Structure 1
Amino acid sequence: MFGLRAKPPELREDAWDEPPHGTLLLRRLKLADRREWHAVRRANRDWLTPWEATVPFVEGEPHPTGGTYSDYLSSLNASARAGESFMWGMFVDGRFAGQISLGSISYGSLRNAHIGYWVSQEFAGRGITPTAVAMIVDYAFQDLKLHRIEINIRPENRASLRVAEKLGLRFEGLRERYLHINGQWADHNAYAITAEECGLGMMRRWRNG
Protein backbone atom coordinates (compact mmCIF):
# COMPACT_ATOMS: atom_id res chain seq x y z
CA MET A 1 0.00 0.00 0.00
CA PHE A 2 2.72 2.44 0.93
CA GLY A 3 5.16 1.64 -1.90
CA LEU A 4 8.13 4.00 -1.72
CA ARG A 5 6.98 5.18 1.71
CA ALA A 6 8.17 1.88 3.19
CA LYS A 7 11.40 3.49 4.34
CA PRO A 8 12.32 7.07 5.19
CA PRO A 9 14.43 8.86 2.58
CA GLU A 10 17.70 10.58 3.36
CA LEU A 11 17.22 14.31 3.86
CA ARG A 12 20.17 16.71 3.70
CA GLU A 13 20.64 20.39 4.52
CA ASP A 14 23.92 22.24 3.96
CA ALA A 15 23.95 25.39 6.07
CA TRP A 16 27.38 26.95 6.33
CA ASP A 17 26.31 30.56 6.88
CA GLU A 18 23.52 29.85 9.38
CA PRO A 19 22.69 27.24 12.04
CA PRO A 20 23.69 24.44 12.25
CA HIS A 21 26.82 25.68 10.41
CA GLY A 22 27.56 22.47 8.58
CA THR A 23 25.87 19.53 6.90
CA LEU A 24 22.85 18.02 8.64
CA LEU A 25 21.95 14.60 7.28
CA LEU A 26 18.82 12.76 8.37
CA ARG A 27 18.98 9.06 7.56
CA ARG A 28 17.91 5.65 8.82
CA LEU A 29 20.00 4.14 11.58
CA LYS A 30 22.12 1.17 10.53
CA LEU A 31 23.75 -1.74 12.33
CA ALA A 32 27.07 0.03 11.75
CA ASP A 33 25.84 2.92 13.95
CA ARG A 34 25.49 0.68 17.00
CA ARG A 35 28.71 1.69 18.77
CA GLU A 36 28.20 5.44 18.29
CA TRP A 37 24.49 5.26 19.16
CA HIS A 38 25.23 3.49 22.45
CA ALA A 39 28.06 5.90 23.29
CA VAL A 40 25.88 8.97 22.75
CA ARG A 41 22.97 7.47 24.68
CA ARG A 42 25.24 6.62 27.62
CA ALA A 43 26.82 10.07 27.64
CA ASN A 44 23.37 11.72 27.64
CA ARG A 45 21.55 9.47 30.12
CA ASP A 46 21.02 12.24 32.72
CA TRP A 47 20.23 14.81 30.02
CA LEU A 48 17.52 12.65 28.40
CA THR A 49 15.97 10.57 31.20
CA PRO A 50 13.55 13.27 32.51
CA TRP A 51 11.91 13.46 29.05
CA GLU A 52 12.00 9.81 27.96
CA ALA A 53 8.76 7.94 27.25
CA THR A 54 8.17 4.85 29.39
CA VAL A 55 5.59 2.05 29.37
CA PRO A 56 3.33 1.85 32.43
CA PHE A 57 2.84 -1.49 34.13
CA VAL A 58 -0.62 -2.92 33.53
CA GLU A 59 -1.53 -6.05 35.47
CA GLY A 60 -2.06 -9.00 33.15
CA GLU A 61 -0.07 -7.47 30.27
CA PRO A 62 3.51 -8.49 29.46
CA HIS A 63 5.95 -5.72 30.30
CA PRO A 64 8.38 -4.94 27.46
CA THR A 65 12.08 -5.51 27.96
CA GLY A 66 14.84 -3.29 26.66
CA GLY A 67 15.96 -5.62 23.88
CA THR A 68 19.08 -5.22 21.77
CA TYR A 69 20.06 -2.54 19.28
CA SER A 70 19.27 -5.02 16.50
CA ASP A 71 15.81 -5.56 17.98
CA TYR A 72 15.35 -1.79 18.08
CA LEU A 73 16.23 -1.43 14.38
CA SER A 74 13.90 -4.31 13.49
CA SER A 75 11.07 -2.55 15.31
CA LEU A 76 11.77 0.74 13.50
CA ASN A 77 11.90 -1.01 10.13
CA ALA A 78 8.63 -2.86 10.81
CA SER A 79 6.87 0.39 11.70
CA ALA A 80 8.22 2.02 8.54
CA ARG A 81 7.07 -0.88 6.35
CA ALA A 82 3.61 -0.59 7.88
CA GLY A 83 3.57 3.14 7.13
CA GLU A 84 3.02 3.91 10.83
CA SER A 85 6.17 5.85 11.66
CA PHE A 86 9.59 6.83 10.36
CA MET A 87 12.72 7.41 12.44
CA TRP A 88 15.85 9.24 11.32
CA GLY A 89 19.23 9.61 12.95
CA MET A 90 20.53 13.19 12.92
CA PHE A 91 24.13 13.37 11.72
CA VAL A 92 26.07 16.66 11.84
CA ASP A 93 29.15 16.60 9.61
CA GLY A 94 29.07 12.80 9.92
CA ARG A 95 28.68 12.66 13.71
CA PHE A 96 25.58 11.16 15.33
CA ALA A 97 23.75 13.93 17.20
CA GLY A 98 20.28 12.57 18.00
CA GLN A 99 17.06 11.26 16.48
CA ILE A 100 13.83 12.59 15.06
CA SER A 101 10.63 10.71 14.27
CA LEU A 102 7.44 11.17 12.32
CA GLY A 103 4.98 8.94 14.11
CA SER A 104 1.29 8.03 14.37
CA ILE A 105 1.00 8.67 10.62
CA SER A 106 -2.63 8.72 9.52
CA TYR A 107 -3.97 9.07 5.99
CA GLY A 108 -7.59 9.10 4.87
CA SER A 109 -9.65 12.00 6.16
CA LEU A 110 -7.19 12.92 8.96
CA ARG A 111 -3.73 12.98 7.28
CA ASN A 112 -1.96 13.78 10.53
CA ALA A 113 1.30 12.81 12.25
CA HIS A 114 3.38 13.60 15.34
CA ILE A 115 7.01 14.68 15.45
CA GLY A 116 9.29 13.67 18.32
CA TYR A 117 13.00 14.28 18.77
CA TRP A 118 16.01 14.25 21.06
CA VAL A 119 19.45 15.78 20.62
CA SER A 120 22.74 15.18 22.39
CA GLN A 121 23.62 17.84 24.94
CA GLU A 122 26.84 18.44 23.03
CA PHE A 123 24.85 19.61 20.01
CA ALA A 124 22.05 21.47 21.83
CA GLY A 125 21.56 25.15 21.08
CA ARG A 126 23.16 25.02 17.63
CA GLY A 127 20.00 25.16 15.53
CA ILE A 128 20.16 21.46 14.70
CA THR A 129 16.79 20.42 16.11
CA PRO A 130 14.66 23.20 14.57
CA THR A 131 16.39 22.60 11.24
CA ALA A 132 15.65 18.86 11.46
CA VAL A 133 12.01 19.52 12.43
CA ALA A 134 11.64 21.93 9.49
CA MET A 135 13.03 19.27 7.14
CA ILE A 136 10.58 16.65 8.42
CA VAL A 137 7.60 19.00 8.26
CA ASP A 138 8.39 19.80 4.62
CA TYR A 139 8.78 16.08 3.85
CA ALA A 140 5.45 15.30 5.55
CA PHE A 141 3.52 18.02 3.74
CA GLN A 142 5.23 17.96 0.34
CA ASP A 143 6.01 14.25 -0.13
CA LEU A 144 3.52 12.38 2.06
CA LYS A 145 0.79 14.99 1.45
CA LEU A 146 -0.18 15.06 5.11
CA HIS A 147 -2.32 17.94 6.34
CA ARG A 148 -1.45 18.45 10.00
CA ILE A 149 1.62 17.92 12.19
CA GLU A 150 1.68 17.91 16.00
CA ILE A 151 4.48 18.20 18.53
CA ASN A 152 3.68 17.48 22.19
CA ILE A 153 6.19 18.78 24.74
CA ARG A 154 6.51 18.72 28.52
CA PRO A 155 5.85 22.25 29.88
CA GLU A 156 9.09 22.02 31.90
CA ASN A 157 11.21 21.23 28.84
CA ARG A 158 12.19 24.76 27.87
CA ALA A 159 14.71 23.66 25.23
CA SER A 160 12.05 21.70 23.30
CA LEU A 161 9.44 24.40 23.75
CA ARG A 162 11.82 26.88 22.11
CA VAL A 163 12.00 24.64 19.04
CA ALA A 164 8.23 24.83 18.51
CA GLU A 165 8.21 28.55 19.23
CA LYS A 166 11.11 29.32 16.87
CA LEU A 167 9.31 27.52 14.05
CA GLY A 168 6.05 29.34 14.70
CA LEU A 169 3.91 26.33 15.52
CA ARG A 170 0.50 27.15 16.95
CA PHE A 171 -0.02 26.46 20.68
CA GLU A 172 -3.21 24.44 21.11
CA GLY A 173 -3.31 24.03 24.88
CA LEU A 174 -2.39 21.68 27.71
CA ARG A 175 -2.98 17.93 27.42
CA GLU A 176 -3.21 16.65 30.97
CA ARG A 177 -1.47 13.34 31.79
CA TYR A 178 -0.96 12.83 28.06
CA LEU A 179 2.07 10.50 27.96
CA HIS A 180 3.87 8.20 30.37
CA ILE A 181 7.25 9.90 30.85
CA ASN A 182 10.08 8.78 33.13
CA GLY A 183 7.74 6.53 35.11
CA GLN A 184 4.67 8.75 35.49
CA TRP A 185 1.81 10.25 33.50
CA ALA A 186 2.88 13.74 32.46
CA ASP A 187 1.15 16.84 31.10
CA HIS A 188 2.20 18.12 27.68
CA ASN A 189 1.81 21.35 25.76
CA ALA A 190 0.35 20.68 22.31
CA TYR A 191 1.66 22.53 19.26
CA ALA A 192 0.49 22.04 15.67
CA ILE A 193 0.70 23.35 12.14
CA THR A 194 -1.29 22.60 9.00
CA ALA A 195 -0.14 22.58 5.39
CA GLU A 196 -2.06 25.80 4.74
CA GLU A 197 -0.28 27.58 7.60
CA CYS A 198 3.11 26.35 6.39
CA GLY A 199 2.77 28.10 3.06
CA LEU A 200 5.83 27.72 0.84
CA GLY A 201 7.61 25.48 3.32
CA MET A 202 8.83 25.23 6.90
CA MET A 203 12.50 25.36 5.94
CA ARG A 204 12.00 28.62 4.07
CA ARG A 205 10.02 29.94 7.04
CA TRP A 206 12.79 28.92 9.46
CA ARG A 207 15.56 30.41 7.33
CA ASN A 208 13.72 33.67 6.79
CA GLY A 209 12.97 34.07 10.48
Structure 2
Amino acid sequence: MIEPPRPLGRHPGWPASLGPLRVAAGLVAVRGPRLWDGGAWSRIRLRDRDHLERWEPTAPGTWEDRNATLAWPGQWSSLRALARRGMTLPFVITVDGQFAGQVTVGNVIRGSLCSAWVGYWVASHVVGGGVAPASVALVVDHAFMMAGLHRIEATVRPENKASLRVLEKLGFREEGLFRRYLDVAGGWRDHLCLALTTEDVPDGLVNRLLATGRATIPQ
Protein backbone atom coordinates (compact mmCIF):
# COMPACT_ATOMS: atom_id res chain seq x y z
CA MET A 1 0.00 0.00 0.00
CA ILE A 2 1.23 3.50 -0.86
CA GLU A 3 1.17 5.73 2.21
CA PRO A 4 -0.15 9.30 1.72
CA PRO A 5 2.37 12.13 2.33
CA ARG A 6 1.48 15.47 3.88
CA PRO A 7 0.73 18.57 1.80
CA LEU A 8 3.69 20.95 1.59
CA GLY A 9 4.47 24.37 0.13
CA ARG A 10 2.74 27.65 -0.59
CA HIS A 11 0.79 26.06 -3.48
CA PRO A 12 0.83 22.44 -2.35
CA GLY A 13 1.00 19.87 -5.10
CA TRP A 14 2.92 21.91 -7.65
CA PRO A 15 5.32 21.24 -9.32
CA ALA A 16 5.40 17.43 -9.28
CA SER A 17 6.30 14.33 -11.27
CA LEU A 18 4.28 11.20 -10.50
CA GLY A 19 4.60 7.50 -11.30
CA PRO A 20 5.45 5.41 -13.11
CA LEU A 21 2.83 2.69 -13.14
CA ARG A 22 3.00 -0.25 -15.49
CA VAL A 23 -0.15 -0.93 -17.53
CA ALA A 24 -0.83 -2.80 -20.76
CA ALA A 25 0.32 0.13 -22.90
CA GLY A 26 3.64 0.56 -21.05
CA LEU A 27 5.07 2.69 -18.25
CA VAL A 28 2.72 5.59 -17.43
CA ALA A 29 3.98 8.71 -15.67
CA VAL A 30 2.84 12.32 -15.40
CA ARG A 31 4.88 15.51 -15.12
CA GLY A 32 4.53 19.23 -15.60
CA PRO A 33 4.25 20.54 -19.19
CA ARG A 34 7.43 21.82 -20.84
CA LEU A 35 7.94 24.36 -23.57
CA TRP A 36 9.54 21.79 -25.86
CA ASP A 37 6.48 19.50 -25.63
CA GLY A 38 4.90 21.56 -28.43
CA GLY A 39 5.97 19.39 -31.36
CA ALA A 40 4.74 16.11 -29.88
CA TRP A 41 1.56 17.74 -28.56
CA SER A 42 0.72 19.21 -31.97
CA ARG A 43 1.45 16.02 -33.93
CA ILE A 44 -0.89 13.98 -31.75
CA ARG A 45 -3.63 16.60 -31.61
CA LEU A 46 -3.67 17.12 -35.38
CA ARG A 47 -3.58 13.38 -36.08
CA ASP A 48 -6.32 12.61 -33.55
CA ARG A 49 -8.78 15.32 -34.49
CA ASP A 50 -11.64 12.83 -35.07
CA HIS A 51 -10.84 11.15 -31.75
CA LEU A 52 -10.79 14.39 -29.72
CA GLU A 53 -12.75 17.25 -31.25
CA ARG A 54 -16.26 15.94 -30.62
CA TRP A 55 -15.65 15.82 -26.85
CA GLU A 56 -13.86 19.14 -26.32
CA PRO A 57 -15.34 22.61 -25.69
CA THR A 58 -15.92 24.77 -28.74
CA ALA A 59 -13.20 27.40 -29.20
CA PRO A 60 -12.45 30.18 -31.70
CA GLY A 61 -10.38 29.42 -34.78
CA THR A 62 -9.80 26.21 -36.71
CA TRP A 63 -8.62 22.95 -35.17
CA GLU A 64 -5.40 23.26 -37.17
CA ASP A 65 -4.66 26.74 -35.83
CA ARG A 66 -5.53 25.90 -32.23
CA ASN A 67 -3.36 22.80 -32.26
CA ALA A 68 -0.40 23.95 -34.33
CA THR A 69 3.03 23.81 -32.73
CA LEU A 70 3.02 27.62 -32.53
CA ALA A 71 -0.14 27.49 -30.36
CA TRP A 72 1.62 25.51 -27.63
CA PRO A 73 3.81 28.23 -26.06
CA GLY A 74 0.76 30.31 -25.21
CA GLN A 75 -1.00 27.33 -23.63
CA TRP A 76 2.13 26.31 -21.76
CA SER A 77 2.61 29.84 -20.42
CA SER A 78 -1.01 30.08 -19.29
CA LEU A 79 -0.92 26.70 -17.56
CA ARG A 80 2.32 27.58 -15.80
CA ALA A 81 0.95 30.93 -14.63
CA LEU A 82 -2.23 29.34 -13.26
CA ALA A 83 -0.20 26.63 -11.53
CA ARG A 84 2.04 29.20 -9.89
CA ARG A 85 -1.05 30.95 -8.53
CA GLY A 86 -2.34 27.68 -7.12
CA MET A 87 -5.39 27.65 -9.41
CA THR A 88 -4.59 24.52 -11.43
CA LEU A 89 -2.37 21.43 -11.47
CA PRO A 90 -1.49 20.73 -15.13
CA PHE A 91 0.24 17.51 -16.13
CA VAL A 92 1.51 15.85 -19.30
CA ILE A 93 0.99 12.09 -19.62
CA THR A 94 3.91 10.02 -20.87
CA VAL A 95 3.99 6.36 -21.92
CA ASP A 96 7.47 4.85 -21.98
CA GLY A 97 8.79 8.40 -21.79
CA GLN A 98 6.85 9.65 -24.82
CA PHE A 99 4.16 12.37 -24.78
CA ALA A 100 0.74 10.67 -24.82
CA GLY A 101 -1.83 13.16 -23.50
CA GLN A 102 -2.70 15.54 -20.70
CA VAL A 103 -4.51 15.45 -17.38
CA THR A 104 -5.40 18.65 -15.55
CA VAL A 105 -6.86 19.50 -12.17
CA GLY A 106 -8.52 22.87 -12.67
CA ASN A 107 -10.56 25.53 -10.88
CA VAL A 108 -8.86 24.76 -7.58
CA ILE A 109 -10.88 26.35 -4.78
CA ARG A 110 -9.63 26.18 -1.23
CA GLY A 111 -11.14 27.43 2.00
CA SER A 112 -14.22 25.56 3.16
CA LEU A 113 -14.73 23.87 -0.25
CA CYS A 114 -11.28 22.46 -1.18
CA SER A 115 -12.57 21.30 -4.54
CA ALA A 116 -11.51 21.09 -8.19
CA TRP A 117 -12.34 19.34 -11.46
CA VAL A 118 -10.23 16.85 -13.38
CA GLY A 119 -10.08 16.61 -17.18
CA TYR A 120 -7.96 14.43 -19.44
CA TRP A 121 -7.27 13.25 -22.96
CA VAL A 122 -4.99 10.50 -24.28
CA ALA A 123 -3.59 9.75 -27.72
CA SER A 124 -5.63 7.32 -29.81
CA HIS A 125 -2.80 4.77 -30.10
CA VAL A 126 -2.84 4.12 -26.32
CA VAL A 127 -6.61 4.10 -25.78
CA GLY A 128 -7.65 0.86 -24.08
CA GLY A 129 -4.18 0.27 -22.69
CA GLY A 130 -4.89 1.47 -19.16
CA VAL A 131 -3.23 4.86 -19.65
CA ALA A 132 -6.19 7.07 -18.75
CA PRO A 133 -7.12 5.26 -15.51
CA ALA A 134 -3.48 5.15 -14.39
CA SER A 135 -2.77 8.82 -15.09
CA VAL A 136 -6.03 10.02 -13.53
CA ALA A 137 -5.40 7.84 -10.46
CA LEU A 138 -1.90 9.28 -10.03
CA VAL A 139 -3.13 12.85 -10.31
CA VAL A 140 -6.26 12.51 -8.17
CA ASP A 141 -4.27 10.81 -5.38
CA HIS A 142 -1.77 13.67 -5.62
CA ALA A 143 -4.57 16.25 -5.46
CA PHE A 144 -6.00 14.65 -2.33
CA MET A 145 -2.74 13.80 -0.56
CA MET A 146 -0.30 16.57 -1.52
CA ALA A 147 -2.54 19.39 -2.75
CA GLY A 148 -4.88 19.02 0.22
CA LEU A 149 -8.12 18.91 -1.78
CA HIS A 150 -11.26 17.21 -0.49
CA ARG A 151 -13.41 16.76 -3.61
CA ILE A 152 -12.64 16.15 -7.30
CA GLU A 153 -15.36 16.12 -9.94
CA ALA A 154 -15.45 15.29 -13.63
CA THR A 155 -18.08 16.23 -16.20
CA VAL A 156 -18.58 13.95 -19.20
CA ARG A 157 -21.07 13.84 -22.04
CA PRO A 158 -23.36 10.81 -21.66
CA GLU A 159 -22.34 9.70 -25.16
CA ASN A 160 -18.66 9.50 -24.20
CA LYS A 161 -18.74 5.89 -23.07
CA ALA A 162 -14.96 5.46 -23.07
CA SER A 163 -14.41 8.34 -20.64
CA LEU A 164 -17.25 7.18 -18.43
CA ARG A 165 -15.66 3.71 -18.24
CA VAL A 166 -12.40 5.29 -17.06
CA LEU A 167 -14.15 7.09 -14.21
CA GLU A 168 -16.27 4.07 -13.30
CA LYS A 169 -13.13 1.90 -13.04
CA LEU A 170 -11.74 4.39 -10.55
CA GLY A 171 -14.92 4.48 -8.47
CA PHE A 172 -16.23 7.95 -9.32
CA ARG A 173 -19.90 8.14 -8.43
CA GLU A 174 -22.52 9.73 -10.69
CA GLU A 175 -24.15 12.71 -8.98
CA GLY A 176 -26.42 14.18 -11.60
CA LEU A 177 -26.96 15.58 -15.08
CA PHE A 178 -26.06 19.15 -16.01
CA ARG A 179 -28.43 20.27 -18.77
CA ARG A 180 -26.84 22.17 -21.69
CA TYR A 181 -23.71 22.56 -19.59
CA LEU A 182 -20.93 23.22 -22.13
CA ASP A 183 -20.67 24.32 -25.74
CA VAL A 184 -19.06 21.26 -27.34
CA ALA A 185 -18.72 20.58 -31.06
CA GLY A 186 -20.87 23.59 -31.88
CA GLY A 187 -23.80 22.99 -29.50
CA TRP A 188 -24.78 23.18 -25.85
CA ARG A 189 -24.44 19.63 -24.54
CA ASP A 190 -25.68 17.82 -21.46
CA HIS A 191 -22.95 16.48 -19.17
CA LEU A 192 -22.99 13.92 -16.38
CA CYS A 193 -21.29 15.00 -13.17
CA LEU A 194 -19.21 12.37 -11.39
CA ALA A 195 -17.18 12.94 -8.23
CA LEU A 196 -14.99 11.56 -5.47
CA THR A 197 -14.12 12.85 -2.02
CA THR A 198 -11.24 11.77 0.17
CA GLU A 199 -13.60 9.69 2.30
CA ASP A 200 -14.46 7.58 -0.77
CA VAL A 201 -10.86 6.44 -1.30
CA PRO A 202 -8.98 6.47 2.01
CA ASP A 203 -6.26 4.22 0.57
CA GLY A 204 -6.03 6.07 -2.76
CA LEU A 205 -6.92 5.30 -6.36
CA VAL A 206 -3.49 3.93 -7.25
CA ASN A 207 -3.82 1.31 -4.53
CA ARG A 208 -7.24 0.47 -5.95
CA LEU A 209 -5.71 -0.14 -9.39
CA LEU A 210 -2.92 -2.24 -7.87
CA ALA A 211 -5.38 -4.31 -5.83
CA THR A 212 -7.51 -5.09 -8.90
CA GLY A 213 -4.52 -5.94 -11.10
CA ARG A 214 -5.11 -3.02 -13.49
CA ALA A 215 -1.62 -1.66 -12.81
CA THR A 216 1.64 -2.66 -11.19
CA ILE A 217 4.61 -0.79 -9.75
CA PRO A 218 7.72 -1.46 -11.84
CA GLN A 219 10.56 -3.16 -9.99
What TM-score comes out, normalization by structure 1 length?
A: 0.88
Please give the alpha-carbon distance, in whole angstroms, between the structure 2 residues aligned to 1:175 and 1:55. 20
- Whole-Å separation in 2 of the counterparts to 1:153 and 1:91: 23
Aligned-residue sequence identity (percent) comes to: 41
1:97 aligned partner: 100
**Matched residue, 2:6:** none
TM-score scaled by length of structure 2: 0.84
Aligned-partner SS, 1:68: helix
Taking the TM superposition and a 5 Å limit, the aligned residue runs for 1:57-206 are 66=66, 68-206=71-209
| Contact kept? 2:11, 2:85, Cα under 8 Å | no
Deviations 1:138-172 (A, max 9, x none): 10111111111101111000100001111111110
Unaligned runs of 5+ in 2: 1-8, 213-219
Name the SS for the 2:164 alignment partner: helix
CA RMSD of aligned residues (A): 1.8
Question: Offset of 1:22 from its aligned partner?
Answer: 2.8
Match among 10, 14, 17 for residue 10 of structure 1: 17
Which residue is equivalent to 2:32? 28
How much has 1:185 moved relative to structure 2?
A: 1.3
Q: Is the 8 A contact 2:133 2:166 kept in 1?
A: yes
Query: Shift of the alpha carbon at 1:92?
Result: 0.3
Aligned length: 197
* 8 A contact 2:105–2:119 mirrored in 1: yes
Distance 2:149 2:14 in 1: 16
Deviation at 1:55, TM superposition (A): 4.4
Structure 1 position 7, deviation (Å)? 3.5
The question of whether the paired residues in 1 share the 8 Å contact of 2:25 and 2:95 is answered with no
Residue 61 of structure 1: aligned partner: none
Higher relative contact order (CA 8 A, sep 6+): 2
- Is 2:68 the counterpart of 1:44? no
CA distance in 2, matches of 1:20, 1:104: 32
Task: Find the residue that maps to 1:145 and give its secondary structure.
Answer: coil
